[in-house]
Structure 1
Amino acid sequence: MKRKSVSIIGVPMDLGQTRRGVDMGPSAIRYAGVKECLVKLGYSVYDEGNIKVEIQERTILDQKTSLKNLTAVAEGNERLAHKVEEVISQRRFPLVLGGDHSIAIGTLAGVAKHSQNLGVIWYDAHGDLNTAETSPSGNIHGMPLAVSLGIGHPALTNIGGYAPKIKPENIVIIGARDLDTGERKLIKEKGIKVYTMHEIDRIGMTNVMKETIDYLKERTEHVHLSLDMDGLDPTEAPGVGTPVAGGISYRESHLAMEMLEESKLITSAEFVEVNPILDEKNKTGAAAVALISSLFGEKLL
């Protein structure tokens, strides 16, 4: 890591999808000892607490769109974007804990303010490239990557006061195995680089990460890691809202994090979709902390 100071930012957001409990994800990750692990690794750690997310009646659909809880999700992400921008201005590494994956809208809005050419590694079973027109559910947690490309509802794409936040050629999706029709079309149209589970099985995680690192190092200034715990196989991370069988293994994920740490490429990160209600004795929260530790330099020897 380029910075020895880390700010932990919790985002108890569960309005980007329909399964309750993911708002407790930041608490589960904290309970699993994320701060203690980072301190042990020699970092100065500042826990910034949680971004305020309005507790309200969940709206089935926004009155004028097919998006669920649009206003509340947008407001929470505006607060998050401001906080992330503030943390980077203080020369601290922003480590964001979710919460559902809709919070990536705010994280990227804050991070991209400090980078004209931001790279993104999207470690996820899903593409999160839906819009109101293509989404089967209207859940905003399936849209943050599209929103960050400037595609979607203006209340989301304009968070932080500008759009787009990222360029399609600066994105690498790793672990995809559940893509909607509209997402596949957008990936092909925009030329987004994707490593599905087929590629991971075929060439191995070592080559996937080496290619990803080389690809982003050539074309970007900073790189953000957005890691959805459903990128891992459900047997290793059961506490997620949208599990998909046949995912990345715990060992492969550690390897990926270790290679990213060695590359010194990552300048911001978020770990999302930990749902303690669906979990087994905080197994997923503990896995998130273990992966964070590897990303920040923990080694066996």
Structure 2
Amino acid sequence: MAAAISLIGAPTDIGAGSLGARMGPEAMRVAGLQAALERHGLQVEDLGNLAGPPNPWQPPVDGYRHLDAVVAWNQAVHDAMLAALQRQRLPILLGGDHCLGLGSISAVARHCRATGKKLRVLWLDAHADFNTNSLTPSGNIHGMPVACLCGLGPQALIGMSGQVPALNPKWIRQIGIRSVDPGEKRLVHQTGLEVFDMRYIDEMGMRHTMELALATLDAQTHLHVSFDVDFLDPPIAPGVGTTVPGGPTYREAQLCMEMIADTGRLGSLDVMELNPALDVRNQTAELAVDLIESLFGKSTLMRA
């Protein structure tokens, strides 16, 4: 695991169905993310915020809301993430809505091809984000990034990594899923995505879930974690625009992050959909910082 970290803010809610995620990066900073990471001996640079078009708040066109602006924001994210990876730093993307996972993971996929690494993506989310313009009820592109990464979407988004598809669906593990639209459900099944939904976690436990999700990682694997804050149970994380009851508890989320840290393979991270306008005294941002600390090795006791 790299000890040099770059924080990259992407203050936009361009792909979301509610306003406010554009304030997420600052809420993370106010919650003390940089200092928290530095306490663990990590060298952290904050690159500030990326710039992009404002949110015009328009209705969908051909099943997509704000497509051109979404492309512009994702290209900016792609370029910033790739530059950090090429400097051998571990980038943390501070969102912003989850459509930005498309630019982020496209950059990681491009970097892995260039360096001969295998890629594993953990998608921690209440939603599968596997809609297409013909399936989406809303046209909000934050419900489409995984589908786009798998080659299902407009050319301007699916080609961002330099290869279509950017990801083989077999490289993705989705964890915490509990809200999937009807047409999306069929597409997830047809594509063969590996999904550990909340029923699976309830029945088998978070430890078993993460053992499977992290199986076969080796020294040649780059692990990318895309963490949508709505992954968490809403009572502990109210500051998101798309809350779904019944998510992982605080302890389940901590175990998830600690087991990722134990692999030593984390190479890049997205923290998405934090919406301070819906939060209570910044508690969701503070919880996110706490969980990110665990991703980088915070634990109660010294572990072998």
Q: TM-score range by the shorter chain?
A: over 0.9
User: Match for residue 7 of structure 2?
Assistant: 8
Stretches of 4+ aligned residues off by more than 4 angstroms: none
Residue deviations 1:130-170, cap 9 Å, x none? 01001000000000000111111112112244322111111
Q: Give the residue type in structure 2 aligned to 1:255.
A: L
Mapping 1:103-252, distance limit 5 Å: 103-116=100-113, 117-215=118-216, 217=217, 221-252=221-252
Give the Cα–Cα distance (whole angstroms) in 2 for the partners of residues 220 and 212 of structure 1: 17
* Partner residue, 1:98: 95
Aligned pairs (5 A) from 1:283-294: 283-294=283-294
Equivalents in 2 of 1:252, 1:54: separation in Å?
Answer: 37
- Residue among 52, 67, 70 paired with 1:70: 67
Q: Deviations 1:184-214 (Å, cap 9, x if unpaired)?
A: 1122112111111111011110111111111
Aligned-partner SS, 2:214: helix
Which amino acid in the other structure matches residue 87 of structure 1? Answer: A
* Aligned-residue CA RMSD (Å): 1.4
What per-residue deviation string (whole Å, max 9, x for no partner) do you get for residues 65-104 of structure 1? Answer: 2210111111010011011110000000011111110010
Task: Please say if 1:89 is aligned against 2:86.
Answer: yes
| 1: CA distance, partners of 2:220 / 2:151 | 18
Task: Output the CA distance in 1 between the equivalents of 2:163 and 2:65.
Answer: 23
Distance 1:91 1:126 in 2: 31
Alpha-carbon distance between aligned partners in 2 of 1:160 and 1:193, rounded to the nearest angstrom: 22
CA distance in 2, matches of 1:208, 1:197: 10
Question: How far does residue 218 in structure 1 lie from its aligned partner after superposition?
Answer: 6.7
Of residues 114-123 and 217-226 in structure 1, the stretch that sits farther from structure 2 once superposed is 217-226
Name the SS for the 2:77 alignment partner. Answer: helix
Give secondary structure in 2 for the equivalent of 1:68: coil
1:239, CA displacement in angstroms? 0.5
CA contact (8 A) 2:95 2:273 kept: yes
8 Å Cα contact 2:12-2:55 kept in structure 1: no
Which residue identity is paired with 2:56? E
Matched residues, number:
297
Structure 2's unaligned 5+ residue stretches are none
SS in 1 for 2:226: strand
Confirm or deny: 8 A CA contact 1:233 1:248 kept in the other structure.
yes
On the 8 A contact 2:14/2:55 being kept in 1, the answer is no
Given that 1:74 and 1:159 are in contact with CA atoms closer than 8 Å, whether structure 2 keeps it comes out as no
> In structure 1, what residue type is equivalent to 2:110?
K
CA distance in 1, matches of 2:126, 2:17: 18
Q: Aligned partners of 1:232, 1:151: CA distance in 2, in Å?
A: 27
**Structure 1 CA distance, aligned partners of 2:47 and 2:68?**
24
One-letter amino acid of the counterpart of residue 65, structure 2: K
Contact 2:56/2:66 (<8 A) preserved: no
Amino acid at match of 2:91: P
Flag the 1:95–1:144 CA change in 2: closer, same or farther, 3 A. Answer: same
- Give the SS at the match of 2:111: coil
Whole-angstrom CA distance in 2 between matches of 1:200 and 1:160: 32
